Amino acid sequence: MTNRTILVVDDKASLREMVREYLSENGLRVLTAADGKEALRIALQEKPDLILLDIVMPRMDGYDFMRAYKQAGSTPIILLTAKLEETDKVLGLEMGADDYVTKPFGMRELLARIRAVLRRGETHQMQAETLRAADIELDRPKHTVHVQERSVDLTPKEFELLATLMAEPGRVFSRAQLLETIEGPYFESIERSINVHISNLRAKIEPDPSNPRYVETVFGIGYRFVDAN
């Protein structure tokens, strides 16, 4: 995974430099930004492979950056946050973040999480296939989804969640299994966050999200994809 470009966004210069030095020593190309506005300019120009993003910053915070940048593509984002409240973590995941690391964090853990997210991206690229089930078509290499021929925009996590469910219609996945699929083995377990992703996914693909046709809840266990019209 050498030569991958990582954009580190944090308002603390000491943290940016510490992360830059460690990741550079491990074969990654590192860019840095002190706030969301600077990060947005650099990200649009350099197109990094992954973004490490602080939440609390001047000028433009992490949430506002994600709102502005999500239109540009599906670059993986790992949040760097000092906030410990579960609601803040869930909000970040809901907005499309791929992972989060709570400060203070160890450099080895951070590198492991970066590698895990990048590996998932490589796996998706190698899975050059189109999934079709019910009225939905999912194209992995193009990262597109069509529901009854209508194009639907999904976040990277929503896309992977749908792909996992569609790959095995009828199979019941537990919340923990789905969470590990989209977060990797290094996530802090907040199984309730998978409910947020499912709710967001249903809002985009279901004709009636309150009465889902495709993604069915199996109470007490998890979810499954129903391949029936």
Reduced to 3 states, what is the DSSP secondary structure of residue 145?
strand
> Is the whole model's pTM more than 0.75, yes or no?
no
Domain that holds residue 11: 5-124
Same-domain status, 37 and 100: yes
Domain CATH number, residue 29: 3.40.50.2300
Strand order through the sheet with 173-174? 173-174, 222-225, 215-218
User: Which residues are CB-contacts of 10 (< 8 A; sequence separation ≥ 6)?
Assistant: 16, 19, 32, 34, 52, 54, 57, 80
Same-domain status, 83 and 154: no
Separation of alpha carbons 214 and 118, rounded Å: 29
Domain CATH number, residue 174: 1.10.10.10
Each of the 229 residues of the chain gets a pLDDT tens digit; together they read 557 899 999 999 999 999 999 999 999 999 999 999 999 999 988 989 999 999 888 889 888 999 888 755 678 899 988 765 666 677 777 777 888 888 888 999 999 889 888 877 665 554 447 888 888 999 987 889 999 989 999 988 899 899 989 988 888 888 888 887 776 654 554 567 788 899 999 999 999 999 999 999 998 889 999 986 5
Query: Domain boundary at 124, 150, 180, which?
Result: 124
Q: For 89, list phi and psi in degrees, rounded to 5.
A: -65, -45
Same-domain status, 113 and 134: no
Q: In terms of DSSP bridges, do strands 144-147 and 150-152 run parallel, antiparallel, or are they unpaired?
A: antiparallel
> What was the pLDDT predicted at 116?
83
Same-domain status, 113 and 140: no
CA atoms within 13 A on the CB side of 217: 13
Neighbour-count burial of 189, counting CB atoms closer than 10 A to its CB (0-12 exposed, 13-18 middle, 19+ buried):
exposed
The count of domains in the chain is 2
Same-domain status, 120 and 133: no
Residue 99 CA to its chain's centroid (Å): 6
CB atoms within 10 A of CB 219: 5
Same-domain status, 41 and 145: no
> What was the pLDDT predicted at 1?
52
Beta carbons of 186 and 194 less than 8 angstroms apart: no
> What was the pLDDT predicted at 123?
54
Query: Domain boundary at 86, 105, 124, which?
Result: 124
Same-domain status, 140 and 111: no
Same-domain status, 179 and 119: no
CB atoms within 10 A of CB 37: 16
CA distances from 70 to 15, 74, 95, 203 (A): 25, 7, 9, 18
Same-domain status, 93 and 161: no
Helix (H), strand (E) counts: the chain: 8, 12
Same-domain status, 119 and 11: yes
Query: 204: which 2 tokens?
Result: 């985009």
Query: Domain boundary at 124, 146, 162, which?
Result: 124
